[in-house]
């Protein structure tokens, strides 16, 4: 779903919150070149829909000249997909706000890393216990054979 820049930045923390406990989130940022997209779409459909025409007008409005392109920013979860087109003029301001939201949302990633470390620690402790038990059994067998041979 294509949103405005402000709407996208307001919806992003909601996506972070939704994937905090379970799920994953993918963020992508890339240059948006409407010409290539339109050529591929026309070859497939041969018709330009109202949505494509609106998108073309938006990109034309956002692009200042041939060397500057709009930036497409996309956030995807298992259940929801949002995106926005950022004008070259607004890119610095948008990225500053986007960075602030990302820093606040990163805490959900850290918790998953801690969980992995905790699981690794549990596995390590189980392996140490198994080795200690095996060493104890070998020691008992060694003392048991010594006692039996001395009688």
The pLDDT tens digits for 88-124 are 888 889 889 989 888 888 766 655 556 677 778 888 8
Asked if residue 52 lies in contact with residue 38, where contact means CB atoms within 8 angstroms, the answer is: yes
Q: How far apart are CA 13 and CA 17, in angstroms?
A: 6
In this structure, the answer to whether residues 123 and 56 fall within a common structural domain is no
In this structure, the answer to whether residues 111 and 40 fall within a common structural domain is no
SS3 content of the chain, % helix, strand, coil (to 5): 65, 15, 20
In this structure, the answer to whether residues 119 and 86 fall within a common structural domain is no
Tens of pLDDT, residue by residue over 29-87, are 898 876 655 555 555 555 556 777 777 777 766 665 566 788 899 999 888 899 999 88
Q: How far apart are CA 31 and CA 36, in angstroms?
A: 12
In this structure, the answer to whether residues 100 and 28 fall within a common structural domain is yes
- Looking at 19-106, list the stretches that DSSP marks H as alpha helix, in order from N- to C-terminal side: 34-45, 50-62, 91-105
Asked if residue 64 lies in contact with residue 89, where contact means CB atoms within 8 angstroms, the answer is: yes
In this structure, the answer to whether residues 82 and 126 fall within a common structural domain is no
In this structure, the answer to whether residues 19 and 92 fall within a common structural domain is yes
Neighbours of 75 (CB within 10 A): 19
In this structure, the answer to whether residues 35 and 98 fall within a common structural domain is yes
Residue 75: helix, strand or coil by DSSP? strand
In this structure, the answer to whether residues 92 and 111 fall within a common structural domain is no
Asked if residue 5 lies in contact with residue 86, where contact means CB atoms within 8 angstroms, the answer is: yes
In this structure, the answer to whether residues 15 and 74 fall within a common structural domain is yes
Name the domain count of the chain.
Answer: 2
Asked if residue 13 lies in contact with residue 105, where contact means CB atoms within 8 angstroms, the answer is: yes
In this structure, the answer to whether residues 19 and 52 fall within a common structural domain is yes
Tens of pLDDT, residue by residue over 137-149, are 988 888 876 555 5
DSSP assignments along 120-136, one per residue: HHHHHHHHHHHHHHHHH
In this structure, the answer to whether residues 54 and 116 fall within a common structural domain is no
The CATH number of whichever domain residue 45 belongs to comes to 3.30.720.10
User: Which pair of tokens denotes residue 132?
Assistant: 């200690």
In this structure, the answer to whether residues 64 and 99 fall within a common structural domain is yes
Q: Which domain holds residue 122?
A: 107-151
């Amino acid at each position: 779903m294509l949103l405005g820049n402000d709407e996208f930045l307001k919806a992003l923390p909601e996506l972070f919150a939704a994937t905090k406990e379970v799920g994953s989130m993918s963020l992508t940022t890339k240059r948006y070149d409407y010409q290539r997209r339109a050529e591929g779409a026309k070859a497939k459909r041969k018709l330009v829909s109202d949505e494509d025409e609106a998108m073309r007008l938006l990109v034309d409005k956002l692009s200042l000249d041939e060397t500057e392109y709009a930036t497409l920013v996309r956030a995807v979860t298992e259940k929801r997909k949002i995106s926005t087109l950022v004008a070259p003029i607004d890119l610095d301001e948008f990225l500053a706000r986007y960075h602030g939201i990302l820093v606040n949302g990163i805490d959900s990633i850290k918790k998953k890393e801690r969980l992995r470390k905790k699981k690794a620690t549990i596995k390590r402790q189980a392996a140490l216990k198994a080795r200690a038990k095996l060493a104890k059994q070998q020691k008992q067998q060694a003392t048991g054979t010594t006692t039996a041979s001395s009688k």
